[in-house]
Amino acid sequence: MLHPGDGAAPVPVAVELATTPAAREMGLMYRDALPAGAGMLFVFPEAALQSFWMRNTKIPLDIVYVADGGRIARIARQTTPFSERPIPSGEPVRFVLEVPGGFTEEHRVDEGDRVDLGDLANASSR
């Protein structure tokens, strides 16, 4: 659940989990579409600097870097399909949420807003 900081209603996102190294490596590559309100949550064993790219990813995404505690550290909006340009988190994060490109702007979600991860915050990738 994303919580925009401007007081707007929380925004639910149905996520697929990527908790293993293999699942995180594959991510959303080769997919033709990602439905509105859906995404993939990458869960790492501990907070660290992360960098994603769009290699073999056909659809534009918003990449939401989430620090421990659920604070959105960075949003890379409308990423370019197939780009191999690194997209760094800018600070240590434990979670990365990928949603369809334009989703965060449409729902007025910004850096500094919160993500309620519920029990997912305790998910292990080991």
For residues 1 and 116, the answer to whether their CB atoms sit within 8 Å is yes
pLDDT-derived band at 9, boundaries 50, 70, 90: confident
- Reported as a single tens digit per residue, the pLDDT across 36-74 is 899 999 999 999 999 999 999 999 999 999 998 899 999
- Which residues constitute the domain of residue 99? 2-122
List pLDDT tens digits, range 82-122.
Answer: 999 999 999 999 999 999 999 999 999 999 999 998 877 66
Answer yes or no: are the C-beta atoms of 28 and 62 closer than 8 Å: no
Cβ-Cβ contacts under 8 Å for 97 (sequence gap 6 or more)? 13, 15, 39, 40, 41, 42, 63, 64, 66, 115
> How far, CA to CA in Å, does 126 sit from each of 18, 75, 93, 123?
12, 26, 17, 9
| Whether 54 contacts 76, CB under 8 Å | no
CA 111 to chain centre: 12
How many domains would you assign to the chain? 1
Q: What pTM was estimated for this model as a whole?
A: 0.93
Question: In residues, how long is the chain?
Answer: 126
CATH number, domain at 55?
Answer: 2.60.120.1140
